[in-house]
Amino acid sequence: MNLLVPTTAEIVEKRQETRQIYTFRLRLRDEALRRSFQFQPGQFNMVYAFGAGEVPISIVSDPADPQLLDHTIRVVGEVTGALGRLREGDVVGLRGPFGSAWPLQEARGKDVIVVTGGLGCAPVVSAINYVVKRRADFGTLQILHGVRTPKDLLYHSRFRAWRRIPNTQVHLTADQPDPTWRHSVGVVTNLFTRIRIDAHNSLVLMCGPDIMMHYAVRDLLSRGMPAQRIYLSLERNMKCAVALCGHCQFGPTFLCKDGPVFRYDLIKLWFQTREI
C-alpha cells in the first residue's frame, strides 16, 4: 500500500456503541491490497472522510482476519463528525497500518494486566482477543476498565464474553455511577486492590487519558511492577503518520513511528513532564 495516499474502503457495518461512539467495519475495495494487508494489535490506520480530513484510529479487529478492519471512533471534531455521519455502504479513505504494536510475544507465559480508561479500551481490544484466542499461551488475563459514567461503557458484549473465558477477570468501574451500575465505583486505579499483581511475571498494557495513565503507572510501580514491563499507548496530534510532518513528536520519539505503544521506562522522562 502507498503509505502516503489513501485507498478506498467501504463501510461494511456501522455499529453505534454509545451516544458518540461508533465502530466501523471497513473493507478495502482493491482486492490485491485487501489480501496483502496485515497488521499487529496496537497499530493504527489513518481514516479519511471526504472533504474533511484524516484521523489516526487504532484497529480493533482480529489481526488473523485483516480483510475486515474494525475502527472505533468517537465523534469529537470535524473529521470524526464527518465520519459519524457516514452510513453503511459509504466509502472512506484508508492508509496504514502504522506504528508500534503491543508486546504480545514478550507477554507469552506471563500474566497480562490490561488497564484502560474511556475510549482507551479500543486500542487494546485487538490484543485482548489475541490473548483470548491463544489462551493457554498466557497466564492470568485481568482486564481493568474505567469509565466516567455507565453511558460511556462500550463493548458491553465483549466485556461479557471475556468474563466467561477461563483464567480471565474483568473489572469495570465508573466515576459517576447510576442506580443500574452493578460494578465498582471510582477511578480505575482503585481496582488494583482487587487484582493479583505478580510483579515478577506480569505485563501491563495500558491506554487511556494521560492523567489516568499517570496515576495508574505510579500505583503499579509502587506495587512493585517493573517500569520495563509497563506498556502505554499514547495519543498526540498526527497528520502524516510517516514521521515527516513533525506533529506527533513526544520528546525524541515520533508517536506514529516509535509509538503509539511505548515501554514506560523508555519514555519516563517525557511522560513525567507536563506539556511535552
Partner 1 sequence: MIRIDRGGLDALFQALKNRGFEIVGPRLRDAAIVYDRLDSTADLPVGWTDRQERGSYHLRRRSDEALFGYAVGPHSWKKYLLPPLACLWRARRDENGVEFFSEEPRPEKLALIGVRSCEIHAIAIQDKVLMGGKVVDPIYAAQRENLFIIAVQCAEAGGTCFCVSMKTGPKATFGFDIALTEVLNGEGHYFTAEGGTPCGEEVLLSIPCRDADSAEREAAERVVERTARQMGRAMDSTGIKELLYGNLEHPRWDDVAARCLACGNCTMVCPTCFCTNVQEVSDLKAEETALQRRWDSCFTMDFSFIHGGSVRSSHKARFRQWMTHKLATWIDQFGTSGCVGCGRCITWCPVGIDLTEEVRAIRAPDPERGP
Choice from 8, 140, 184, 190 touching partner 1 (CB under 8 A): 8
CA gap 66, 253 in Å, rounded: 28
Count of helix runs (H) and strand runs (E) in the chain: 7, 15
Residue recorded with cell 455502504: 89
119 or 188: whose CB is closer to partner 1? 119
Choice from 13, 15, 16, 29 touching partner 1 (CB under 8 A): 29
Choice from 185, 199, 227, 244 touching partner 1 (CB under 8 A): 244
User: Where in 17-64 does DSSP place strands (E)?
Assistant: 21-28, 44-49, 53-58
Choice from 249, 263, 266, 268 touching partner 1 (CB under 8 A): 249
State yes or no: residue 167 binds partner 1 (CB under 8 A).
no
Q: Are strands 53-58 and 69-74 parallel, antiparallel or unpaired?
A: unpaired
State yes or no: residue 20 binds partner 1 (CB under 8 A).
no
Q: Where are the alpha helices (DSSP H) in 108-149?
A: 122-133
40 grid coordinates: 499487529
269 grid coordinates: 522522562
Q: Which stretch binds partner 1 (CB under 8 A): 5-13, 109-117, 155-163, 194-202?
A: 5-13
Residues 133-152 within binding reach of partner 1 (CB under 8 A) = none
Q: How far is the CB of 98 from partner 1 (least distance, A)?
A: 10
State yes or no: residue 5 binds partner 1 (CB under 8 A).
yes
Amino acid letter, 5:
V
Residues 55-114 within binding reach of partner 1 (CB under 8 A) = 74, 76-77, 90-93
CA gap 259, 261 in Å, rounded: 5
CA gap 236, 199 in Å, rounded: 30
Q: Is the peptide bond before 97 cis (omega within 30 degrees of 0)?
A: yes
Residues 256-275 within binding reach of partner 1 (CB under 8 A) = 257, 269, 273-275
82 or 113: whose CB is closer to partner 1? 82
Residue ranges that bind partner 1, judged by CB under 8 A? 2-8, 10, 29, 48, 50-54, 74, 76-77, 90-93, 235-237, 239-240, 242-247, 249, 251-252, 254, 257, 269, 273-276
